[in-house]
């Protein structure tokens, strides 16, 4: 299916990685739907991309609000009739980088983090699946993190062995599990489901201490969104390389 015919929805797309993935997909010829909680910021982001020649649309979508999920289905079905790409990008880190020890993480931190990073993308994906099934070859990309790798967390000497934050890490591990299960369920269809680790990127969450710039960090998600028919399904990737679960 030509990229010009693709319709892509990116959550948390008014800034950072979400905005840059929308930009790169738009530059590749896709119609992009920028989903964000704040209408003013979201519309401003879409307007900026339209000024760059991208076919961009804003959709008010708070991923934690199930009523917004239903509104999204109505908007996409009415406007485009199908969805070709879903990038579950919206996420939070309540305890901050390196915070949230296993012995002291609060119930509130766990629940808030899992609501946005796991329960919301699962619910949104399930709600949008009928529209994704209407695509000739849909792609679902769950924006995860290397911090969701159980293997690397358990391996002394790994890049993340001494860098742990229970709520965030566990929520991304759970999201990876969703990727594996949904990919298996859809393995006999033309829908591909993969997890992406963007890298440590200079975003609000990653901070200026991060080594990667946003355009580089957006590449993995965009590559998985534009996979050819022979591309992988049910994997965990960073810049073309497979990561351990």
Beta strand pairing call for 241-242 and 236-238:
antiparallel
pLDDT digits (tens, 9 = 90+) for 101-132: 999 999 999 999 999 999 999 999 999 999 99
pLDDT digits (tens, 9 = 90+) for 42-62: 999 999 999 999 999 999 999
Sheet strand arrangement including 139-143: 56-60, 31-36, 7-10, 85-88, 139-143, 192-196, 236-238, 241-242
Structural domain containing residue 98: 3-242
Least confidently predicted of 40-44, 108-112, 212-216, 223-227: 212-216
**Predicted local confidence at residue 213, as pLDDT:** 86
Q: In the predicted model, is pLDDT for residue 2 greater than 80?
A: no
Mean pLDDT taken over the chain: 94
Q: What is the rounded CA–CA span in Å between residue 44 and residue 8?
A: 18
Question: Which has the higher per-residue pLDDT, 214 or 191?
Answer: 191
**Predicted local confidence at residue 155, as pLDDT:** 98
Tokens for 190, please give them: 């033309």
Domain tally, the chain? 1
**Predicted local confidence at residue 4, as pLDDT:** 44
Q: What is the rounded CA–CA span in Å between residue 74 and residue 84?
A: 15
Beta strand pairing call for 236-238 and 192-196:
parallel
Tokens for 34, please give them: 């920028």
* Number of CB atoms found within 10 A of residue 156's CB: 6
pLDDT digits (tens, 9 = 90+) for 164-175: 999 999 999 999
Where in the sequence numbering do the catalytic residues fall? Answer: 168, 172
Share of the chain above pLDDT 70, in %: 92
**Predicted local confidence at residue 99, as pLDDT:** 76
Q: What is the rounded CA–CA span in Å between residue 84 and residue 180?
A: 20
Q: Is 221 helix (H, G, I), strand (E, B) or coil?
A: helix
Please report, for the domain that includes residue 107, its CATH number: 3.40.50.720
**Predicted local confidence at residue 97, as pLDDT:** 66
């Amino acid at each position: 299916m030509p990229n010009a015919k693709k319709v892509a929805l990116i959550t948390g797309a008014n800034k950072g990685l979400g905005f840059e993935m929308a930009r790169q997909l738009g530059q590749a010829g896709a119609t992009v739907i920028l989903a964000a909680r704040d209408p003013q910021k979201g519309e401003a982001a879409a307007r900026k991309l339209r000024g760059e020649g991208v076919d961009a649309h804003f959709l008010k979508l708070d991923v934690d609000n199930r009523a917004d999920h239903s509104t999204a289905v109505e908007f996409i079905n009415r406007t485009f009739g199908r969805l070709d790409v879903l990038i579950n990008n919206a996420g939070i880190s309540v305890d901050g980088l390196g915070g949230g020890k296993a012995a002291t993480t609060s119930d509130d931190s766990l629940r808030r983090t899992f609501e946005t990073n796991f329960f919301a993308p699962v619910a949104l994906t399930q709600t949008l699946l009928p529209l994704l099934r209407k695509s000739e070859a849909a792609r679902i990309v769950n924006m995860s993190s290397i911090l969701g790798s159980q293997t690397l967390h358990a391996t002394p000497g790994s890049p993340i062995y001494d860098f742990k934050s229970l709520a965030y890490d566990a929520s991304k591990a759970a999201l990876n599990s969703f990727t594996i299960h949904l990919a298996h369920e859809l393995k006999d269809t033309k829908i591909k489901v993969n997890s992406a680790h963007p890298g440590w990127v200079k975003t609000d969450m990653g901070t200026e201490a991060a080594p990667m710039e946003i355009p580089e960090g957006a590449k993995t998600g965009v590559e998985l969104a534009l996979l050819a028919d022979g591309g992988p399904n049910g994997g965990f990737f960073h810049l073309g390389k497979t990561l351990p679960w």
